[in-house]
Amino acid sequence: MPVLTPLSSVRLAVDCMGGDHGASVTLPACRAFLDTHPDAHLILVGSAAALESARQWPRCESVIASEVVTMDDPVELALRRKKDSSMRVALAQLKDDDPARVAQACVSAGNTGALMALARYLLKTLDGIDRPAIATLMPTRDDGFTTVLDLGANVDCTAEHLLQFALLGSALMVAVDGKDDPSVGLLNIGEEAIKGSETIKRAGELMRAAAADGQLNFYGNVEGNDIFKGTTDIVVCDGFVGNVLLKSVEGLATMISDFIRQEFARGPFSKLAALAAYPVLRRFKHRVDPRRYNGAALLGLRGLVFKSHGSADAFAFEQALKRAYDAARNRLIERVQDRVAHTSMVCAGGPEATAAAAAGTPLTA
């Protein structure tokens, strides 16, 4: 694959009105981000009143939008009626005809369904990608992370979709996390190749074929506990399983925070025990803190879109900005296109293509 030189400067479009807290969170995060990224330029999108305090910021410009997509707006309302929403206007910055003004990535904490629908409508999917996928990080026991996708964009997936997710996740880790050859695991009910549904078994065949062709570092099947062990760099699953997994991890982090708070509220002996255990509990809480891993990538589109958690605070939203910046600077879109182009025959060629790729036999169109 060709060597891609990082961009010398990056322009990010930010939906400043999205999420549970809007500009009260997004603007402080943007200011902190600018302080640590001197080669970044931000396009802040929101109401005139919300953006007034940022008018004099360096390396910033404001784009006014008169509407906001709320967290409970139906997708159809966001898509068809709110034509001047901050979310839609921010996404449109990725399509500016002027190369000097176009944004390389967009970040929003808004309604996930609306963001995905608007992004697909405005940006379209890349050639060779049928459906975009949502990818994010899960903590591991060694204080690392595993990239997991899809996390809810696609409930029903074919084997070809799962292969595409593997390619998207690999390109993401190369661009954002600097892993040259990230390993990919296919989430299943067991490690053996004969286990799982027909779709999962077929996806395993396709991934082994892509690995034989040198386009994927496929480890094999993994189970749910492998995600937190860090067995592979990437874990691929359908959106139904992925979304349940994500909510479970978020629930665990909340439970830990509540537990620490409740123990300190009990009687004197419980407080003493809690104080003794506090350093350990604090480190564990830090390790599973979802704010550190905020910023889910909507992969497979003709533009980079990153979704922050709706309830994110300024620290968490800044993490989403950083991940979008890293993806744009390291040209994630081009990396995805390269990987998909090299593997398109395996995706579309059926069992014959799979067998040929696994045997190392060149295929003809």
Q: Tell me the domains of the chain and their CATH numbers.
A: 8-123 (3.40.718.10), 130-292+335-365 (3.40.718.10)
What is the token pair recorded at 252?
A: 């665990």
The total of other beta-carbon atoms located within 10 Å of residue 295's CB is 27
Q: Find the Cα–Cα–Cα–Cα dihedral 131, 237, 182, 207, rounded to 10°.
A: -80
pLDDT values of the chain reduced to their tens digit, one per residue, 365 residues: 566 788 889 999 999 999 999 999 999 999 999 999 999 999 999 999 999 999 999 999 999 999 999 999 999 999 999 999 999 999 999 997 778 889 999 999 999 999 999 999 999 999 888 889 999 999 888 888 999 999 988 888 999 999 999 999 999 998 888 888 999 999 999 999 899 999 999 999 999 999 998 889 999 999 999 999 999 999 999 999 999 988 887 787 777 777 767 766 777 777 777 677 767 666 666 666 778 889 999 999 999 999 999 999 999 999 999 999 999 999 999 988 887 776 665 555 544 544 444 444 433 32
Residues 6+ positions from 57 with CB-CB distance below 8 Å? 31, 34, 42
What is the token pair recorded at 275?
A: 């104080």
Residue 239 C-alpha from the chain's centroid = 13
**What is the model's pLDDT at position 28?**
98
**Rounded to a whole number, what is the largest CA-CA distance in the chain?**
75
- Quick one: which of 280, 228, 289 has its CA closest to 257? 289
- Write the DSSP string, 264-283: HHS-HHHHHHHHHHHHHHHH
Asked if 6 contacts 331 with a C-beta cutoff of 8 angstroms, the reply is: yes
The total of other beta-carbon atoms located within 10 Å of residue 267's CB is 7
- CA geometry: angle 83, 86, 87, nearest 5 deg: 85
Q: Which amino acid appears at position 85 of this protein?
A: S
Site of tokens 């921010």:
90
**SS3 state at 28:** helix
The total of other beta-carbon atoms located within 10 Å of residue 179's CB is 16
Give dist(CA 227, CA 15) in Å, integer.
31
**What is the model's pLDDT at position 280?**
67
**DSSP state for residue 291 in the 8-state scheme:** G
Cα–Cα distances in angstroms (integers) from residue 127 to residues 99, 121, 253, in the given order: 22, 15, 38
**SS3 state at 298:** strand
Model's pTM, two decimal places? 0.85
Site of tokens 């999917």:
125
Asked if 320 contacts 32 with a C-beta cutoff of 8 angstroms, the reply is: no
**SS3 state at 127:** coil
**What is the model's pLDDT at position 5?**
86
Is the N-terminal amide bond of 39 cis, ω within 30° of 0?
no
Q: Which amino acid appears at position 35 of this protein?
A: D
298 strand-pairing partners: 134, 305
Give dist(CA 336, CA 298) in Å, integer.
12
- Quick one: which of 53, 150, 348 has its CA closest to 16? 53
**What is the model's pLDDT at position 279?**
75
What is the token pair recorded at 97?
A: 């005809």
**What is the model's pLDDT at position 348?**
53
**What is the model's pLDDT at position 147?**
95
Asked if 203 contacts 186 with a C-beta cutoff of 8 angstroms, the reply is: yes
